[in-house]
């Protein structure tokens, strides 16, 4: 019976409202006080049933909830035959609960929308080579799947055959389609706008990027911040205190109606709901913009930070070295480029890859007598020519004559933060290339935005040489920058900032070597395409490694923190005004108090819901 009553609580509220309306209609139109009184009695009893059940359930677990206060108030009003206020209070309480649930559901719209994007089936290649539709749970790592136009990608995988464009809004928050071809990575939950592709499954089920997003967001929305835990403890003692105050008022004034009114006005509903709704809305907004905030506690610390420490490679820079400057010397440069490409093809060094990408399509020749010079480069024979590829030290070892012009270029390249690749043919310098990791597009503007949001210190730590670090630091306008840093050096520096200088520090990184610093910082922020370890040890994840999400994330948590304070002020302010009104005015009664009480709950919910539409660009 209890389940049936609670299940139909909204219908009971509707019947309650109809009975109250019928009673007043009978009183005002035909002056029938019998219908008026019995309509209110039935409305009071019917409306009190779900409230009494909820009060009983809370008392069973030794909690004096709002339902207990309302139950006592309604029972008292009924006993003193104030049926009008008893009926109206039950209706307002039930109707308010309905509106609360409806509006609260909207604050969870982001995670609900994400969940609905989860793929349910996949076209799997069977042993006979044909594709058959199966449940997504039946897909294993290594299976080959077919994805057609308009279909959801069922797993994280790699394109084997075909090409097309995919809407990755569920992962990155960006709706602009991304072109995919053979070798491209695709993510579960994204949608193939056009084209047909076959993919091999790399991650399935909860291990997919999409599955982890849903899991992290759900955990975050269910978590409680320090403020929420405080309010839970506060309401645990506050509600019984209101009960005691009401009893004392009745004891000294012998005014049972005044005591009952105090019970209704003292309900802490808006205070209890205000902080959670802000947190849930803030986390939901982040999820819809490709930002995972791992819990309510993250919001508090993140909103107060004054220092952000960045790893360089893959965070402030693209993480993919490329040729930024080059100079040729003498004749037969095309031939020298072919020799250079042939030698670099033998190497797996990141700089070699950058050189090959710069040269592009060319003719390769056989390479013989290869000698790797430690800390210098490579010396080899190509078509009977002695080719040396490496740094200045290697050129000196090979007795290559460096002209004054070449020395000037070398110095200029080094000042620009380049790593040098020199190429000589038979002892004559032919090619000088400067290679460096390019700064992420838009990072400079994003860092300026972070400063506007109150971040005082922007610090870069890198394992690269100090010269390169200084160049990037000057270009980006960083506060401090340190090179030649090992992972333990980075974590020690973060620890020093927190413990000795009292800074509230966020660390932004993407690699395994960043994990100690991510875990040690007050807030660890991982780039979404980084390693699993970095993502798991972080507090915030920027999906798709989109650095531009960082200013939005900081602006969002600051707005969420402000929103929480606003809701607390609204909730406490309304209770104080109501209590003052009942003590120092004659117009306040139980019905008006309940109406204002429910109104305050809706105000804090609607205030929290504003965060769902928060956008830093509009600020």
C-alpha angle 162/546/619, rounded to 5°?
130
d(CA 76, CA 5): 22
- Among 523, 556, 553, smallest CA distance to 538 is for 523
The one catalytic residue in 311, 437, 510, 514 is 311
The total number of residues shown for the chain amounts to: 619
DSSP secondary structure letters along 526-593:
EETTS-HHHHHH-SEEEGGG-TTHHHHHHHHHHHHHHHHHHHHHHHHHHHHHHHHHHHH-SS--HHHH
Report the alpha-carbon distance of residue 574 to residue 266 in Å, rounded: 10
Q: Where are the alpha helices (H) located in 360-486, listed in sequence order?
A: 392-397, 404-415, 443-452, 466-476
- DSSP conformational letter for 444: H
Closest by CA position to 463, among listed 437, 438, 489: 489
Nearest CA-CA partner of 68 in 306, 241, 294, 295: 241
Distance CA 225, CA 214 (A): 20
Tokens of 125: 């290649």
Question: What are φ and ψ of residue 457, in 5° steps?
Answer: -125, 120
Check if the beta carbon of residue 291 is closer than 8 Å to that of residue 542: yes
311 counts as catalytic: yes
Q: Are strands 428-436 and 178-180 parallel, antiparallel or unpaired?
A: unpaired
Positions marked active-site: 311
């Amino acid at each position: 019976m209890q389940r049936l009553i609670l299940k139909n609580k909204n219908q009971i509220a509707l019947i309650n409202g109809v009975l109250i309306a019928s009673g007043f209609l009978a009183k005002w139109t035909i002056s029938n006080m019998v219908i008026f009184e019995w309509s209110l009695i039935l409305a009071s009893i019917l409306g009190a049933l779900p409230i009494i059940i909820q009060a009983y359930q809370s008392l069973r677990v030794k909690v004096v909830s709002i339902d207990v206060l309302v139950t006592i108030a309604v029972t008292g009003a009924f006993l003193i035959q104030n049926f009008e206020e008893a009926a109206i209070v039950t209706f307002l309480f039930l109707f308010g609960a309905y509106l609360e649930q409806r509006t609260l559901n909207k604050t969870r719209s982001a995670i609900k929308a994400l969940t609905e994007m989860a793929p349910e089936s996949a076209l799997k290649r069977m042993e006979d080579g044909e594709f058959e539709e199966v449940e997504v749970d039946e897909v294993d790592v290594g299976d080959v799947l077919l994805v057609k136009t308009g279909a959801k990608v069922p797993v994280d995988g790699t394109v084997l055959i075909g090409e097309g464009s995919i809407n990755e809004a569920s992962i990155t928050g960006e709706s602009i389609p991304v072109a995919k071809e053979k070798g491209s990575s695709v993510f579960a939950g994204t949608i193939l706008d056009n084209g047909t592709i076959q993919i091999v499954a790399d991650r399935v089920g909860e291990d997919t990027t999409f599955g982890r997003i849903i899991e992290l967001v759900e955990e975050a929305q269910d978590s409680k911040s320090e403020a929420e835990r405080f309010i839970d403890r506060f309401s645990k003692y506050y509600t019984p205190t209101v009960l005691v105050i009401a009893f004392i008022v009745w004891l000294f004034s012998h005014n049972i109606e005044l005591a009952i009114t105090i019970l209704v006005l003292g309900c802490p509903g808006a205070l209890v709901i205000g902080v959670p709704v802000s947190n849930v809305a803030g986390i939901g907004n982040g999820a819809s913009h490709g930002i995972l905030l791992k819990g309510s506690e993250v919001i508090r610390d993140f909103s107060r930070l004054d220092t952000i420490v960045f790893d360089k490679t893959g965070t402030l820079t693209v993480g993919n070295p490329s040729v930024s400057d080059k100079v040729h010397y003498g004749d037969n440069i095309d031939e020298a480029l072919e020799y250079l490409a042939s030698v670099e093809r033998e190497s797996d060094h990141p700089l070699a890859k950058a050189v090959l990408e710069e040269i592009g399509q060319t003719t390769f020749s056989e390479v013989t007598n290869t000698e790797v010079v430690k800390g210098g480069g490579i010396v080899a024979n190509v078509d009977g020519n002695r080719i040396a590829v490496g740094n200045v030290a290697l050129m000196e070892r090979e007795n290559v004559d460096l002209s004054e012009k070449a020395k000037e270029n070398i110095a200029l390249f080094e000042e620009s933060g380049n790593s040098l690749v020199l190429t000589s043919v038979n002892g004559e310098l032919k090619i000088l290339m400067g290679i460096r990791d390019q700064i992420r597009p838009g990072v400079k503007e994003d860092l300026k935005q972070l400063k506007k949001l109150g971040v005082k210190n922007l610090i870069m730590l890198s394992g690269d040489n100090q010269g390169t670090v200084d160049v990037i630091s000057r270009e980006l306008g960083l506060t401090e920058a340190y090179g030649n840093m090992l992972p333990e050096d980075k974590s020690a520096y973060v620890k020093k900032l927190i413990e000795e200088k009292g800074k509230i520090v966020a660390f932004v990184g993407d690699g395994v070597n960043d994990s100690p610093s991510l875990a040690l910082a007050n807030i660890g922020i991982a780039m979404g395409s980084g390693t699993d370890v970095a993502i798991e040890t972080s507090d915030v994840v920027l999906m798709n490694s989109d650095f531009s999400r960082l200013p939005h994330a900081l602006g969002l948590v600051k707005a969420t923190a402000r929103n929480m304070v606003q809701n607390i002020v609204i909730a406490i302010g309304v209770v104080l005004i109501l209590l003052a009104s009942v003590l120092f005015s004659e117009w306040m009664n139980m019905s008006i108090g309940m109406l204002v009480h429910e109104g305050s709950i809706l105000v804090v919910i609607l205030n929290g819901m504003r965060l769902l539409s928060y956008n830093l660009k509009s600020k």
